[in-house]
Amino acid sequence: MSYDRSLVVSCPAAVRDALIALGRGVGVEAGMDVEWSLDGSAPATHYSSHSWVQDAFAALMLRQVYPGDALNRADYAWLPEDWVDGTVLYAMPDGVTRAQIDAILDQCDVSVDAVGDDGRLLSPVEHVDLVASRSGLRRVERTI
């Protein structure tokens, strides 16, 4: 599986730590360090990130699968060639439930492979801008 899915995730500032902790639980260290706010000024009210991910992680973020799910090829065409049916792709983090995952991701905006009006896959910058604009948010401007 190649890393060819464009993933943008954003969340309110109050949810950021929980989202990062959830990622850590499935072995992903998320930066979530792109700052957004209503008018582009600090402090950030939301955080976001862009990353190139494999199908499996995109499916996890879209909640098409959950940690702990035993997957079968018949249900998921994107599983690797050497996949053994019934294997758990991502283990459920200790002490975490599906309800808790839902509670976190319900507050997040998750977008995979956004396409523009011309049918072209948006670039990462375009993709991030699209997700921000539909929430009425702008990147926080910082100078050096």
Partner 1 sequence: MVYCSIHDLRGPQTERRCRQDLHRMPHSSAWSYTSLFAGGKPGLVYDVSDFSSMTIGRDGSGGAPSIGDVVGKRFDLSGNGNHAIMPADDARPRLLQDAGGRPYLDYDGVNDGWSRNIGGIPDSCSIFTALDPNDGASDYFLYTDGATTAGIIAHVRPNNIVPSTNAGTPAYKIDGVMLPPPVYTSHLLSALTATGLPHVVSIIGADVSAWTDFGFARVGTRMMPGREYGTIIVDPADTDAADIAHIEAWLAGQSGAVLPS
**Shortest distance in whole angstroms from residue 60 CB to partner 1:** 13
Q: Which is nearer to partner 1, 34 or 101 (CB)?
A: 34
The residues that touch partner 1, with contacts defined as CB under 8 A, are 2-4, 9, 23, 28-34, 49-52, 123-125, 128, 139-144
Q: Which is nearer to partner 1, 74 or 143 (CB)?
A: 143
What's the CA gap between 5 and 58, in Å, rounded? 7
Q: Which is nearer to partner 1, 49 or 107 (CB)?
A: 49
Q: Which is nearer to partner 1, 50 or 65 (CB)?
A: 50
**Shortest distance in whole angstroms from residue 99 CB to partner 1:** 25
**Shortest distance in whole angstroms from residue 84 CB to partner 1:** 20
**Shortest distance in whole angstroms from residue 125 CB to partner 1:** 5
Over the Cα atoms of the chain, what is R_g?
16
Residue 37, beta-bridge partner list: 138
What's the CA gap between 82 and 128, in Å, rounded? 34
What's the CA gap between 88 and 70, in Å, rounded? 4
- Strands, E assignment, the chain: 5-12, 34-37, 46-53, 70-71, 87-88, 109-112, 138-139
